[in-house]
Every structure is written in C-alpha cells, then in structure tokens.
C-alpha cells in the first residue's frame, strides 16, 4: 500500500450525508396490510461503476441504522457503526465497490416507522404501525436498488439481524445477489432469543409512560427502554468479557455498602448502556424490530433449511465467533452444511474471541482478510 493509500485508509470515507427516497405507492406487507407512503433513509460510499456491477448492500443489526461509515460532520464524536470495515483499503473498499446501507422500515433513523406521521390521521403511527417482517424490510430495500438502477448486487453483508436480511436476500431474490457475507447470525430465531426479546418488550410496555404507544409529545418510556437495552446488551457479551472488564469490582473501593443501591461496576456499565440508548432510539421501534426478529424462520418458510439453501445461486461466507451464545457457532455451521449439501459454494470460519456476539462489530483484525479475500473471489467470478 502506498503512503497515499495508507493515509486514505486511515481517514476512511470522511464526511458523508444521509439521503432519502420516498414512494407514494404502498408496500404490501406479509401480514396483508400495506404501508405507504414509504421512506427509506440510506447512505452510499464509493462510486457505482459504468456496468453497475460493483454494488454491495450492508445490512444493519437491531440497534443500527443507515450510517455505516464516516461522519456526518467534523464535530461528530463517533463514526458509523462499521466504519472500521468500510473505506479505501478496507474490506468494503470504496475505491473498488459502491457500498449502500439503508435504515430498515420500522426503524427510527429516517425510514418510515412508528414515529412517522400516519397520513390518515396526521399523528405518529405509534402502536398503530403495521407489524413488519424481515421479508418486508428486504422488499423495501429492493425498491431502493431499483431506484438506484442496480439489478444485481456484487454482495450483501450483515451481522446478527443484518444476517437475517442477507439470508432473506439470497433466498427470496437469489438472482439479484452474487455473494453473501453472514456474520454471527442464524436461519431462525430460537425460543431463547425470542424469550429475551419478549422480556424487553414487556419492560417497555409495562412502563406507564408508554401510553399504549402514544407517548410522542409526552415523556417517552425511558425506564422500560433502558431495561430492554440492558437485557439485550448482556446477550451481546460473554462471561469471559464481563469477567475481564468488570469481575466483581465495586464502583467505589471502600468495600460493600450493604444497601440495595447499585454499587458494582457492571451495574454502572449497564445503566450507561440504557441511558445512552434512550438518547438515540425509539421505544416503539424496539418493539417492532424485535418482533420482526421473532418472526424470522427461514426453514419454516420453505419447509426445511435445505430447501431454503437450494434457492441460493451465489457464493456464501459465514463467520461465527467462539463465545457468541446469542447465535452460537452451531447456527452458522447448520447453514454452511445445508449449503454444502446443495452443492453451493460456501466457506465457514469460526473465529476465537472473548467478545461474544458483539465480536462482529469490534473484532475487525481477524475478519478483514477473510472478508476481503471473499469479495475478491466474488468480483473475479471465481
């Protein structure tokens, strides 16, 4: 890498801008209801080539959004959620690829969701927003690609719920995807995951400030959303990472207070996670997105996992993480094995880590050469 390339790779994609597309034609949902007008917020990085063959769609997890890389202003304290992977010289190399990321429908970062005004009433949808599925999210993304003039993607890539969307892409729209990168994900939500999501939703809906979803213009259900985030965040970590970060350390070194107050360092950390989540996320969106995750069941949709994987036409890379107990290695292995049984080109790598489920967002070094090499193969048509 030249000095200029090294400098550009360090800088990443720089200052970026959120964009919006709105369709007046309603989107028919799996529930039979329709949603419209429909807006998707999205960002793009790099340039679409003349053949329109170098586009990659990034798919975010539960708490993510369209802002995958760069900063919106020089004063931003944080870059996009996958900034370490997107930019010149990075795996999603913006010197080579046109990278797209959109906020899912049901979200709260610019796309149509519960906080959006219902055109029939002029008030925010709230709990009157229709229930959406992973398939609905992907159909909305397909509209975005149509509007951008992209018939086929070089690849889709996502972790956790982003992996759900990537799996939906390669089974529901296999002719539009040449490759898929699936990280820390699963072909269905199992009962344990559904149980954690249900507890989080119960916490929000039990907060008296939820007001049956009509809290806009009032105090939001901050306590309920904070508890939901704290519960969810624990599932993203691992026992080794918690032990390493906090152990049984007290916030103050004077010994136990023998009170009911929060005094352990891990308690303070979870309080912080709950408080910061409230500053950027909508409680109703949390309800709707986790419900979409619970409905996710690819084997149930097609009759079996093998039948689902028989639909895949491109190459697939799966990366799992050794301490992920939310979507453990066995989930990725099951997908890889089903693809192999169908004679589809597939690679599965299980990476050792202490970071748990969150490893796909923070353990970049081990992932970079694997993803870069895979995308090279897809681009070459190997």
Which residues are annotated as catalytic?
160, 324, 357
On whether the CB atoms of residues 56 and 157 are closer than 8 A, the answer is yes
Which SS3 state, helix, strand or coil, does residue 84 take?
helix
Task: Determine whether 322 is exposed, middle or buried from the number of CB atoms within 10 Å of its CB (0-12, 13-18, 19+).
Answer: middle
Given the DSSP bridges, would you call strands 27-28 and 34-35 parallel, antiparallel or unpaired? antiparallel
- What is the rounded radius of gyration, in angstroms, for the C-alpha atoms of the chain? 21
Q: Angle of helix 134-147 relative to helix 161-172, nearest 10 degrees?
A: 70
Among the listed residues 98, 101, 107, 154, the one whose alpha carbon sits nearest the alpha carbon of residue 134:
107
Distance from C-alpha of 175 to C-alpha of 142, rounded to nearest angstrom: 12
- Give 3-state DSSP helix, strand, coil % of the chain, rounded to 5: 40, 15, 40
Given the DSSP bridges, would you call strands 38-45 and 19-23 parallel, antiparallel or unpaired? antiparallel
Given the DSSP bridges, would you call strands 98-102 and 55-59 parallel, antiparallel or unpaired? parallel
Length of the chain, in residues: 382
Kindly state the tokens that stand for 151: 């018939």
Kindly state the tokens that stand for 2: 């030249």
Kindly state the tokens that stand for 308: 């689902």
CB-based contacts of 51, cutoff 8 Å, min separation 6: none
Kindly state the tokens that stand for 134: 């992973």
Kindly state the tokens that stand for 326: 């939310």
Distance from C-alpha of 104 to C-alpha of 9, rounded to nearest angstrom: 28
Kindly state the tokens that stand for 245: 């970060």
Distance from C-alpha of 128 to C-alpha of 256, rounded to nearest angstrom: 47
Across-strand partners of 349?
319
Among the listed residues 114, 141, 136, the one whose alpha carbon sits nearest the alpha carbon of residue 41:
141
Residue 351 φ then ψ, to 5°: -95, 135
């Amino acid at each position: 890498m030249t000095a200029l390339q090294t400098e550009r790779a360090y800088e990443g994609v720089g200052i970026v801008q959120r964009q919006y597309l709105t369709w007046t034609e309603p989107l028919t949902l799996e529930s039979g209801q329709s949603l419209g007008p429909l807006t998707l917020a999205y960002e793009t990085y790099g340039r679409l080539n003349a053949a329109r063959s170098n586009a990659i769609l990034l798919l975010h997890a539960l708490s993510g959004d369209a802002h995958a890389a760069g900063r919106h202003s020089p004063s931003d304290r944080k870059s996009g959620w996958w900034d370490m992977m997107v930019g010149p010289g990075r795996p999603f190399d913006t010197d080579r690829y046109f990278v797209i990321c959109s906020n899912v429908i049901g979200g709260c970062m610019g796309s149509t969701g519960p906080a959006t005004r219902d055109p029939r009433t002029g008030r925010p949808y709230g709990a009157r927003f229709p229930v959406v599925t992973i398939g609905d999210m992907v159909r909305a993304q397909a509209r975005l690609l149509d509007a951008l003039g992209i018939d086929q993607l070089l690849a889709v890539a996502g972790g956790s719920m982003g992996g759900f969307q990537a799996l939906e892409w390669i089974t529901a729209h296999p002719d539009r995807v040449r490759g898929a990168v699936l990280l820390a994900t699963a072909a269905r939500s199992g009962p344990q995951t559904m149980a954690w999501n249900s507890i989080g939703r119960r916490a929000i809906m039990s907060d008296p400030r939820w007001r049956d979803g009509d809290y806009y213009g009032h105090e939001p259900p901050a306590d309920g959303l904070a508890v939901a985030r704290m519960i969810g965040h624990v599932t993203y970590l691992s026992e080794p990472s918690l032990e390493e970060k906090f152990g049984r350390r007290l916030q103050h070194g004077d010994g136990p207070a023998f009170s009911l107050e929060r005094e352990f360092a891990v308690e303070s950390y979870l309080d912080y996670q709950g408080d910061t989540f409230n500053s950027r996320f909508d409680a109703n969106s949390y309800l709707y997105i986790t419900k979409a995750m619970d409905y996710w069941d690819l084997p149930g949709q097609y009759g079996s996992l093998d039948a689902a994987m028989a639909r895949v036409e491109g190459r697939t890379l799966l990366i799992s993480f050794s301490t992920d107990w939310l979507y453990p290695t066995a989930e990725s292995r099951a997908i890889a094995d089903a693809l192999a049984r169908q004679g589809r080109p597939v690679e599965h790598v299980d990476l050792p880590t202490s970071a748990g489920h969150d490893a796909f967002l923070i353990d970049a070094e081990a992932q970079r050469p694997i993803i870069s090499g895979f995308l090279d193969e897809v681009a070459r048509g190997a």
